[in-house]
Structure 1
Amino acid sequence: MTEIKLGKNGDYWQAVWYDSKNKRKRKNIGRVGKLTKTQAKAKIVRMQKKFAITPAIADAGKAPTLKAWEERYFSIRTDLAESTRKIQKIVFKQLMDEFGEDTRMDRVSADAAMEWVANIEGSENWRRNVAAKCKTFWVWAIKAKRVFDSPFEAVSTSPVEIEADWYFVTDQDMERMLGACTTDRWRCYIALCRWAGLRSEEARTVTWRDVDWDAHTIMVAPKDGKVTTKKRRRVVPVVPKLYEMLLSCFERSDGSARIVDLGDNNHNRDMKALIKRAGVKSYNKPFHTLRKNCESEWLERYPTMDVCQWMGHAPAVAMKHYKKSTAQLMQQVTEQVDSREAEAMELARLMLEFDNETMQEAKEFIHRLAEIIEEKKAGS
């Protein structure tokens, strides 16, 4: 195991060790005036533990600048979806605006990282999201042996729990919304999100060839063929009312390959206008809410693992973001309670109708029955 010793270079405490090629390595761990010798030794102990867990970081070379690592990072992260790549580029820009693009990654201190994150404009969840992205940048740099620790390691990145803004789109709401549609494409768009749980983009890219009319299923595949955590091939069941709608729309289709051939612009705006035109109460995230409603209903009726496969995400995601008790389920429970209360009242009424003589006869019958059972047991 690599041994790390405490050294000093002028005004700085240093960690000193030898890598796998017996080359001497040094790293500044703090100013002598701000860090006592005991505190410096404690840092050495923590570094020693990290080296024990990940021996390869002992061979880490000179850390790259933020700009150099941005270029390298995106060249090796070919697995990123385009939307994720855009967000991470925004975070990288904020990072370089704060610390400078020529600043080496190992020069960003934990204190500076925490202070920067705490003062980022926006919501608490956005700040934590930025910190999570930065933590990812450093994790990949550690994997590449360019740095051996992250200044964002102690920064909170778990999102703050927020009460979900739920609206349950009822059958009556769906009837009004579908009636307000002026084209079959829009009717299918809304129906695929509400009755098949498709994401908005998935509903716009699924084709007629993806529908298995015999099996009553739809094959959902990534638009560009690239598999990500949110985009992977899956098979979704088609409920009877959706099947009937798709079949009738297919018979009237104009030959377009896509079921919902609407392009990629202004769908949320148009959907909000349609909801208003239909006389349905306005709600946030018009398409995503339809998907959440679908999954919430399915989770009440079918096994969780099956539903999650149909929806394309993990059970933990379903429980946290998609499951909500519906009014129908609440009614079923209350009606069941009411029926049990009625049964209990009826039983009490029948018992009150028995006179004392009848009750005595019943007791004697039960007593005699018990004796017969005991005699049979003794005989066997």
Structure 2
Amino acid sequence: MASIVNRPNRHRWVQFVDTNGKRQTLRLGKVTKKNAEEVARRIEILMSAKISGDSIDGSTSAWIRSLEGKIRDRLAKLGLVEPRAKRKLLGEFLDTYIEERTDVSQGTLDTYIKARKNLIDHFGREHRLETITKADATKWRVYLKTESNARDKDRKWIADSTARRRTGKAKQFFNAAVEQGLIDANPFKHLPSTVHANEKRQHFVDRGIIDDCIKAAPDAEWRAIIAMARYGGFRMPSECTTLKWSNIDFAAGRMTIHAPKTKRHRSGGRRMCPLFPELRPYLEDLYELAQPGDEFVIPWVKRASNLRTRFEAIIELTGHEQWPKLFQNLRASRETELLGIYPAKDVSSWLGNSVPVAMKHYAMARKEIFEAAALKPTGTMPEGASPPAKKSEAETEADAKQNPKQQATAASGADEQEQKKSPRNAGSLQENAARLHSEPSGMMGDTELESVTSTMSTKHSPRASLDDRGS
């Protein structure tokens, strides 16, 4: 049991017997009796925990974190608390952590940098790491969701999925701080960080719309880019930038795709994908235009290329409305189509994701499939039963007379939908495409994008090889 010894000039000591049976004295200096009693009580808790092997309570952990100077060092020397690590400032710690992560891709580093900015904008670079509490982390999460959007001028809030990703990075930073002994516990541990699919932003892009976009594209390269995204299921632009002519085997009907996103997976980021018939003609056309010695299929597409802005301009030429998650929904639309035809295991291997990821983030429920399931039996009908039949013209006409207002509303909606499907300037698509082609290629920042065989070293083309062409 710890006892308090009163010394001259209101100085006080706390004396106790350690686990080895030796009397120890902790000199507190000039403190109040109440403070000395608190120290004595905490020492008794620490001694009891050390003897029994139990963990200490949260309030005692917080009390230890608040200790400074000789008292903390003395308790550490007695083995009652962990040695005091070097105190670090938030900005210094985050900078060091990111600089040392040379094992991750540039895309991952970009997510670290964004999360670091959110933390520093809220806490400040000079904020001491160990003073951030669980309550502080909760306040940061509120700030993150409501005020941290620096990209969009019209709104300060960010999407829940983005907030969860940034929170996950904050957890990662502070887990590292715990491992380094800079803090005792992760104050962000309790915050939600699991990312869920946002069904409101899922959108199946019909083939008719994509075909209009391809017609409005300014050149063969852009026609291939759009086809690769929608009919090849490529991650854009990362998998487009790495595709080489040597990765395409026209004779065998297959492609070897290199995915930077999954480069550190067991597959090494390589996967074998069929050369889908919908995609083949656009790659063949581009192959005919390639120059001898050309290595990459789309050589000008780099990570910084302004792919999104150019594609938005093409969609505008068609008169169709732009859909959310521009390129990712093209990939998701292709995966949804393929999952309706081929086994999920095969489709996921072609497009470079797992079956659970495909189901959670890519596969979409389609209205036409739902309607077909209500009409088309999946097996033998029960005896005496017959499949539902479509309404006759007479029944349809009777329904229209029964509720003409509803029918008129439906017709109006159908007309509006048909108008959306048809380009505003169908007759001038090629003219507008030529005008778009005359504009110089821009440069782009981040795009919202997201594996398993060896690379094809040679390609077999149904047409003449590059080396055999006339110079």
State if a TM-score over 0.5 links the two structures. Answer: yes
| 1:294 and 2:334 are equivalent in the alignment | yes
Structure 1 residues 230 and 158 mapped into 2: Cα distance closer, same or farther (>3 Å)?
A: farther
| 1:77 and 2:115 are equivalent in the alignment | no
Distance 1:280 1:86 in 2: 32
* Residue identity (%): 23
Give the C-alpha shift of residue 322 in structure 1: 0.7
The equivalent of 2:362 in structure 1 is 322
The equivalent of 2:175 in structure 1 is 139
Corresponding residue to 2:242 among 205, 215, 240: 205
The equivalent of 1:39 in structure 2 is none
Structure 1 residues 324 and 251 mapped into 2: Cα distance closer, same or farther (>3 Å)?
A: same
Structure 1 residues 124 and 60 mapped into 2: Cα distance closer, same or farther (>3 Å)?
A: farther
Q: Is the 8 A contact 1:65 1:105 kept in 2?
A: yes
Q: Is the 8 A contact 2:261 2:269 kept in 1?
A: no
Corresponding residue to 2:211 among 175, 190, 198: 175
SS of the residue corresponding to residue 177 of structure 1 reads helix
TM-score (norm 2): 0.57
| 1:29 and 2:51 are equivalent in the alignment | no
The equivalent of 1:115 in structure 2 is 139
| 1:92 and 2:116 are equivalent in the alignment | yes
Relative to structure 2, which stretch is displaced further, 245-254 or 104-113? 245-254
Q: Is the 8 A contact 1:195 1:242 kept in 2?
A: yes
Deviations 1:226-252 (A, max 9, x none): 537998222221112322332233123
Distance 1:174 1:225 in 2: 27
Corresponding residue to 2:297 among 259, 273, 296: 259
Letter of the structure 2 residue corresponding to residue 162 of structure 1:
N
Give unpaired runs (5+ residues) of structure 1: 20-26, 33-56, 348-380
Give unpaired runs (5+ residues) of structure 2: 1-18, 20-25, 29-34, 51-58, 65-80, 148-156, 388-471
- What is the number of residues matched between the two proteins? 311
Distance 2:126 2:322 in 1: 49
Relative to structure 2, which stretch is displaced further, 219-228 or 149-158? 219-228
Structure 1 residues 161 and 260 mapped into 2: Cα distance closer, same or farther (>3 Å)?
A: closer
SS of the residue corresponding to residue 279 of structure 2 reads helix
Q: Is the 8 A contact 2:224 2:282 kept in 1?
A: yes
More helix by share: 1
Q: Is the 8 A contact 1:219 1:234 kept in 2?
A: yes
Q: Is the 8 A contact 2:90 2:125 kept in 1?
A: yes
| 1:270 and 2:310 are equivalent in the alignment | yes
Give the C-alpha shift of residue 197 in structure 1: 0.5
Matches within 5 A, 1:290-369: 290-337=330-377, 344=384
Q: Is the 8 A contact 2:112 2:169 kept in 1?
A: yes
Give the C-alpha shift of residue 195 in structure 1: 1.2
Q: Is the 8 A contact 1:177 1:275 kept in 2?
A: yes
Q: Is the 8 A contact 2:263 2:270 kept in 1?
A: no
Give the C-alpha shift of residue 70 in structure 1: 1.7
Deviations 1:132-153 (A, max 9, x none): 2111101122333433310111
Distance 1:59 1:30 in 2: 15
Q: Is the 8 A contact 1:117 1:130 kept in 2?
A: no
TM-score (norm 1): 0.69
Q: Is the 8 A contact 2:197 2:360 kept in 1?
A: no
Letter of the structure 2 residue corresponding to residue 83 of structure 1:
G
Instruction: Give 4+ residue runs of structure 1 displaced > 6 Å after superposition.
Output: 228-231, 338-343
Give the C-alpha shift of residue 291 in structure 1: 0.7
Matches within 5 A, 1:47-66: 61-66=85-90
SS of the residue corresponding to residue 317 of structure 1 reads helix
Q: Is the 8 A contact 2:164 2:193 kept in 1?
A: yes
Corresponding residue to 1:235 among 250, 272, 296: 272
Structure 1 residues 96 and 224 mapped into 2: Cα distance closer, same or farther (>3 Å)?
A: closer
SS of the residue corresponding to residue 192 of structure 2 reads coil
SS of the residue corresponding to residue 203 of structure 2 reads coil
Give the C-alpha shift of residue 224 in structure 1: 10
Distance 1:175 1:279 in 2: 13
Tell which has more relative contact order, 1 or 2 (C-alpha 8 A, sep 6+). Answer: 2
